């Protein structure tokens, strides 16, 4: 299942003239810009808009966090539309962890290397057939005078026991994508953007918006 929609098909949404991306994560912003650039030529980041805001991600689902970020940035920015993403890794053998705590799995203030080290410790000895996992990305679009919409996309994989590749970020070196036979960190930006969880979510969002435009 590549994505799920969290808005009814009878809702109408116009493509906004200007869009602010509610993120300070340079990797996420680059992916969003590369994927949405053709549809939203007038996008700005928080930094470009001169907005210093750090929304607390205290929700219990990716969708709740994405919606909260989009709506708070919309209110604070004065822009007509704000887009936010919340994403992470879901490991079946860990009951869904790291999940919404993916960015701080090893604790507040820790980095990607710390998070990956903890994940490998927690998964030590787990056989390959039980190392199924998926990346999830919830994308929310908040706009003035309209209901916020949210979609979620997935990418299915297997958790490796050793890092592979130098590209990407986060858990990418340990996420093996079977259809291509490489880890996400072994893919180029173009290859990853074509199959990633964020790609599926953004495509679902665009589909909702294009229904109205048509």
Q: What is the pLDDT of residue 10?
A: 35
Q: Decide: helix, strand or coil at residue 72.
A: helix
User: Whole domain around residue 189: which residue ranges?
Assistant: 3-213
Cα–Cα distances (Å) from 83 to 38, 73, 177, 182, in that order, read: 16, 9, 27, 30
Q: Decide: helix, strand or coil at residue 116.
A: helix
Q: Decide: helix, strand or coil at residue 43.
A: strand
Q: What is the pLDDT of residue 17?
A: 63
Q: Which residues are catalytic?
A: 86
* CA–CA dist 141, 55 (Å, integer): 15
DSSP symbol at 197: H
Instruction: Render each residue's pLDDT in the chain as its tens digit; 214 residues.
Output: 444 444 433 333 444 468 999 987 777 777 788 878 877 888 888 888 888 888 888 999 999 999 999 999 999 998 999 999 999 999 999 999 999 999 999 998 889 999 999 999 999 999 999 999 999 999 999 999 889 999 999 999 999 999 999 998 899 999 999 999 999 999 998 899 889 999 999 999 989 888 867 6
CATH number of the domain that 100 lies in? 3.90.950.10
Domain total in the chain: 1
* CA–CA dist 196, 27 (Å, integer): 13
* CA–CA dist 67, 75 (Å, integer): 12
Residue 89 forms beta bridges with which residues? Answer: 135
Q: Are 171 and 119 in contact (CB under 8 A)?
A: yes
Residue 133's nearest CA partner among 166, 84, 170 is 170
């Amino acid at each position: 299942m590549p994505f799920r929609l969290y808005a009814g098909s009878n809702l109408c949404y116009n493509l906004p003239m200007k869009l602010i991306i509610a993120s300070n994560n340079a990797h996420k912003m680059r992916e969003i810009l590369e994927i949405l650039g053709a549809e939203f030529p007038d996008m700005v980041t928080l930094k470009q808009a001169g907005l210093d805001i750090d929304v607390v991600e205290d929700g219990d689902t990716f969708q709740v966090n994405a919606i909260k970020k989009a709506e708070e940035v919309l209110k604070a920015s004065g822009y007509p539309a704000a887009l936010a993403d919340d994403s992470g890794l879901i490991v079946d053998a860990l009951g869904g962890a790291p999940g919404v705590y993916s960015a701080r799995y090893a604790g507040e203030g820790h980095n990607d290397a710390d998070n990956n080290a903890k994940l490998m410790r927690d998964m030590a000895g787990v056989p390959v057939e039980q190392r199924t996992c998926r990346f999830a990305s919830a994308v929310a679009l908040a706009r003035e005078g309209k209901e916020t919409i949210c979609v979620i996309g997935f990418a299915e994989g297997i958790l490796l026991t050793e890092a592979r590749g130098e590209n990407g970020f986060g858990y990418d070196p340990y996420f093996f994508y079977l259809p291509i036979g490489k880890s996400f960190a072994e893919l180029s930006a173009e290859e990853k953007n074509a199959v990633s969880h964020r790609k599926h979510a953004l495509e679902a969002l665009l589909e909702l918006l294009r229904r109205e435009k048509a």
